[in-house]
């Protein structure tokens, strides 16, 4: 029996996506905006352009047309008085993903991003309805494939790289494969692109990018922009995983000015988890990306500034001005009165020859729906024995024909939660190989054909054909950027905090006063999402204590 198609959010939650505000509710929020008039055909928003903010319609009708650059996904909606135009991009003042035009003379109450955030907090009940609508509209755009269009072969390493970047940052996008989609070839011809130059990306604003880096794509989409070198933040948080986002939410909700920087995506390693089932309050489980997206949106609601992707390359202390200076990889500078290190850990790579040859298309360090689709119906190999490996094995078993789980130790129970061990034991298409070590990879042109392993105590090497290999063998601290900062690290490179960092140091404080460490980057931390979130909340109290002891500097630092 064929499976029933999953209904769209537009079908199931249309009323919540497009609520109509009553006249009394509009009157309550008039103080947050100003009234503007729009002529017939005039744009309230244009794709790829930073708009005015949220627009509540007072008179007339507005047509909103969210579609991708290939115009394959029209999702038009017309709203009248009491409706409002906007989605999550307007919360952060980023370029719009939709076109919105006045169908007739229109008057609208335009609320800029900073005042919109104030409205969400001041008008709790109404703010909840608006926030829910903004989130649901973003989810609909994700379903529809609005936003940038990636054109390239589905199994190309750079296509996977760009798709993963946008997916992990919850940004709508669409991919066209010239092998299967006539529209892809039409666009290639229209823009006179040589097939050897694929992939290309068409941004909503009309720009054409040829195999861009994540940073180039993010700047084209307006996800990240120049940082004001004269701005002095109360706290700069390095890392947007569960620890960093928790610290950002609590710090901003208590009135601190906060900047969060991350070199790749929001969510950290937790954001790559297919399903988290032991997080308090989610008895049926939740995907790591969904959990982290909620935290990300919550942080933006409280006014946290996000710089993702922006890589921090160094940290220095300006003792004369009582501030810390973060040097970014693009040579920008960030000034802050305090710093929170939440840079987490990076995936460990096994010592196997030519591993990097296959990392673009066949070797994966997370198991998202994108990877699940790639290995649908195939046999896959997965190396690891921790909770992340267990979650990935369970998820992949729902997509793959068979999952071979290679475990170096004598049992799964040593490092994996009991519920995951029980789940894996009950899966008929997961085979667990204990005391097994990956020994080699075989393939050509960046495509994996087979892997080899040895199961001890046997000296015999086993070879089996595989197209995809998943690696979950732990992580190393992402603390290289602290070199020369005088922040003390342990022998393995994790950040020392509390008494281990020096006399009179409080919990979560490093060897440098005003610099704190939380989450997986901290020496002795518990590698769990809940523990990271708890440290993110706890560090805010330490921040207040520290900031209360130093002279408050002007809001704008001297030009450097």
Q: Which CATH number is 466's domain given?
A: 3.50.50.60
Q: What is the dihedral of CA 520, 521, 524, 527, to 10 degrees?
A: 10
Q: Strand, coil or helix: what is 441?
A: strand
pLDDT in tens, 440-497: 999 998 899 999 999 999 889 999 999 999 999 988 899 999 999 999 999 999 999 9
User: Domain check: are 156 and 99 in the same one?
Assistant: no
92 and 157 inside one domain: no
**pLDDT value of position 1:** 40
Domain check: are 342 and 395 in the same one?
A: no
Judge whether 516 and 338 are in contact, CB under 8 Å: yes
Same domain, 317 and 412: no
Does the residue 555 lie in any domain? no
CATH of the domain at 25: 2.60.120.10
**Would you say 130 and 84 are in contact if contact means Cβ atoms under 8 Å apart?**
yes
Residue 89 has which token pair? 């991009």
Say yes or no: 361 and 464 in one domain: yes
| CATH number of the domain within which 174 lies | 3.40.30.10
Domain-embedded: residue 361: yes
Instruction: Identify whether residues 317 and 249 lie together within a single domain.
Output: yes
- 293 and 244 in a single domain? The answer is yes
Q: Which two tokens stand for residue 190?
A: 């229209």
For residue 294, give the 3-state DSSP assignment. Answer: helix
Q: Are residues 132 and 194 in the same domain?
A: no
Question: Are residues 447 and 400 located together in one domain of the fold?
Answer: yes
227: in domain = no
Please tell me the distance from the alpha carbon of residue 78 to that of residue 75, in angstroms, as a whole number.
10
Reported pTM: 0.89
Structural domain including 214 reads 149-221
Helix or strand holding residue 439 (H, E): strand 436-444
The Cα 199–Cα 209 span in angstroms is 9
Residue segments in the chain with a per-residue pLDDT below the cut of 70 = 1-5, 67-75, 320-321, 551-560
Please write down the HEC assignment for all residues of 359-395.
CCCCEECCCCHHHHHHCCCCEEEEECCCHHHHHHHHH
Q: Do 496 and 341 form a contact (C-beta atoms < 8 A)?
A: no
Asked whether residue 485 is domain-assigned, the answer is yes
198 and 298 share one domain: no
Q: Which residues have a Cβ under 8 Å from the Cβ of 282 and sit 6 or more positions away?
A: 276, 291
User: What's the pLDDT at 550?
Assistant: 81
Of 189, 221, 253, the last residue of a domain is 221
Looking at the fold, whether 442 and 531 belong to one and the same domain comes out as no
**Residue where one domain finishes, among candidates 434, 449, 473:** 473
Domain boundary among 423, 450, 473: 473
Q: What is the pLDDT of residue 556?
A: 39
What backbone phi and psi angles, to 5 degrees, belong to 43? -85, 130
Residues in the chain: 560
What's the confidence (pLDDT) of residue 560? 34
pLDDT at position 554 is 45
Q: What's the pLDDT at 112?
A: 97
Contacts of 133 (CB under 8 A, 6+ apart): 16, 17, 18, 19, 84
What's the structural domain count of the chain? 4
């Amino acid at each position: 029996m064929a499976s029933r198609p999953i209904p769209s959010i537009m079908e199931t939650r249309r009323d919540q996506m497009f609520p109509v505000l009553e006249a009394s509710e509009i009157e309550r929020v008039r103080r947050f905006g100003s009234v503007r008039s729009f002529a017939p055909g005039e744009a309230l928003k244009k794709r790829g352009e930073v708009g005015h903010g949220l627009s509540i319609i007072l008179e007339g009708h507005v047509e909103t047309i969210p579609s991708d650059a290939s115009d394959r996904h029209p999702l038009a909606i017309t709203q009248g008085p009491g409706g409002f135009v906007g989605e999550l991009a307007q919360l952060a003042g980023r370029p719009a993903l939709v076109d919105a035009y006045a169908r007739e003379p229109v008057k609208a109450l335009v609320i800029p991003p900073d005042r919109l955030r104030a409205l969400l907090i001041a008008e709790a009940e109404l703010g909840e309805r608006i926030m829910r609508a903004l989130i649901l509209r973003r989810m609909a755009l994700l379903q529809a494939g609005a936003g940038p269009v990636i054109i390239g072969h589905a199994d190309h390493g750079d296509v996977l790289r760009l798709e993963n970047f946008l997916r992990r940052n919850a940004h709508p996008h669409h991919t066209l494969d010239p092998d299967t989609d006539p529209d892809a070839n039409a666009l290639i011809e229209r823009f006179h692109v040589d097939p050897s130059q694929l992939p290309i990306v068409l941004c909503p604003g009309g720009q054409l990018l040829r195999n861009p880096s994540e940073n180039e794509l993010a700047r084209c989409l307006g996800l990240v922009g120049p940082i004001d070198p004269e701005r002095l933040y109360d706290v700069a948080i390095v890392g947007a995983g569960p620890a960093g986002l928790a610290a950002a939410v609590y710090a901003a909700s208590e009135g601190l000015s906060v900047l969060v920087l991350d070199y790749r995506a929001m969510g950290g390693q937790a954001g790559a988890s297919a399903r988290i089932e032991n997080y308090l309050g989610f008895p049926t489980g939740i995907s790591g990306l969904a959990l982290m997206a909620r935290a990300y949106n919550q942080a933006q609601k409280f006014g946290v500034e996000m710089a993702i992707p922006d890589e921090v390359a160094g940290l220095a202390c300006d003792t004369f001005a009582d501030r810390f200076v973060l040097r970014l990889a693009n040579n920008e500078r960030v000034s802050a009165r305090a710093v929170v290190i939440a840079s987490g850990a990076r995936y460990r790579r096994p010592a196997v020859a030519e591993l990097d040859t296959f990392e673009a298309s066949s070797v994966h360090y997370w198991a998202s729906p994108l990877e699940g689709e790639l290995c649908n119906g195939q046999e896959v190999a997965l190396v690891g024995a921790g909770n992340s490996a267990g979650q990935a094995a369970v998820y992949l078993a729902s997509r793959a024909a068979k999952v071979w789980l290679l475990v170096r130790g004598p049992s799964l129970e040593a490092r994996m939660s009991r519920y995951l061990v029980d789940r894996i034991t009950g899966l008929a298409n997961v085979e667990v190989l204990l005391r097994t070590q990956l020994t080699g990879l075989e393939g050509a042109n960046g495509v994996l054909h087979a892997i080899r392993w040895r199961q001890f105590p046997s000296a015999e090497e086993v070879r089996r054909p595989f197209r995809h290999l998943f690696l979950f063998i732990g992580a190393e601290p992402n603390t290289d950027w602290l070199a020369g900062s005088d922040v003390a690290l342990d022998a393995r490179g994790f950040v020392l905090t509390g008494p281990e960092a020096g006399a009179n140091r409080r919990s979560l404080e490093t060897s440098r006063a005003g610099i704190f460490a939380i989450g997986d980057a901290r020496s002795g931390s518990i590698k769990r999402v809940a523990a990271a979130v708890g440290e993110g909340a706890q560090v805010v109290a330490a921040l207040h204590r520290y900031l209360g002891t130093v002279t408050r500097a002007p809001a704008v630092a001297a030009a450097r």
